[in-house]
Amino acid sequence: MKIYKYIRQKPFSINYDNNYTILDLASLFLKEDNDSVIIVDDEKPIYIITNTDLIHYFLQNDEKLSIKEIIEKYPKQIIVVNKNDDIYDAYKKMRAASIEHLIVVDDDGKLVGEVYQKDLVMKFVEFALKDELTGLNNSRFLDTIIQRYNGSNIKIGVIFIDIDDFKYFNDEYGHQVGDEVLKFVAKKIKESIREVDFGFRYGGDEFVVMVFEQPKEIVLKIAKRIFDKITSSINSFGKVGVSVGVAMYPEDNNDLNKVIELADKELYIAKNTGKGRIESVN
């Protein structure tokens, strides 16, 4: 993943040849509500002054020095990354230098923005919990949700979805089309559920949806909505069929893992009785 996707808006910067003193900078920091200023020469970053630096300058009675004089008195090397660098490399640089953000430049070395360590950490967490291909939650996050709600009194409807004859798409058109089919199904799942509910790519061509605090009849309606959205669309790769199984926690079993297994069993009943069906625990 490239840095340019995570750049914050262009940071507070001042040209090297202006006549600002450190006292002027302190006033600007308060006015702009910034924690750093980047000094540029011909739009290229050459120095950075942070809140911590300002405190140091005041303690040294340097508040009347100009930016040029400060740079001469306190030389330091700034750390920059190119906007096309990988975010993991940027994160390693921040950790190695014990800094919270990095200056980002373009191929000409000109300032384009900053990236912050906390933004990248949040993105890494998202990577760990999301399926990269479909954007749905992954099985690791499903395990977390199971641990969170197993044994609770929260009502959860589990919808298990499997793509019918998925091997056909891969064999007939190749894995790239197979990936498009998976992304299509994931998109229809996202369109069919509320923000408080969860969609997961369980593995391969299997998906799980968890619907919270809804009676079984509503869960079945949501399952039907997902089914209809997927099966009624005609795509460049043709029509996609799915089989669906539904079970309820704690109504059908007070172990959420067992409820997922029950939904999976209902799915295979649908598979074995003609495919393209929705089955649920009675």
Which residues fall within 8 angstroms of residue 78, CB to CB, at 6 or more apart? Answer: 45, 46, 47, 48, 103
Question: How far, in Å, CA of 220 to CA of 180, rounded?
Answer: 26
Q: Based on the residue annotation, tell me whether 41 is a catalytic residue of this protein.
A: no
Q: What is the CA radius of gyration of the chain?
A: 27
**Contact, 112 vs 102, CB < 8 A?**
no
Other CB atoms within 10 A of residue 113 CB: 20
Look at residue 167 and give its three-state secondary structure: helix
Question: How far, in Å, CA of 125 to CA of 63, rounded?
Answer: 42
Which residues fall within 8 angstroms of residue 124, CB to CB, at 6 or more apart? Answer: 91
Look at residue 155 and give its three-state secondary structure: coil
List the one residue out of 141, 239, 282, 116 whose CA is nearest residue 199.
141
Q: Which pair of structure tokens corresponds to residue 139?
A: 């099985």
Residue 242: phi and psi, rounded to 5, are -135, 155
Q: Please work out, in degrees rounded to the nearest 5, the angle formed at the alpha carbon of residue 187 by the alpha carbons of 1 and 245.
A: 125
Q: Which of 197, 205, 252, 264 is catalytic?
A: 205
Question: How far, in Å, CA of 199 to CA of 207, rounded?
Answer: 7
Question: How far, in Å, CA of 123 to CA of 25, rounded?
Answer: 33
Report the catalytic residues: 205
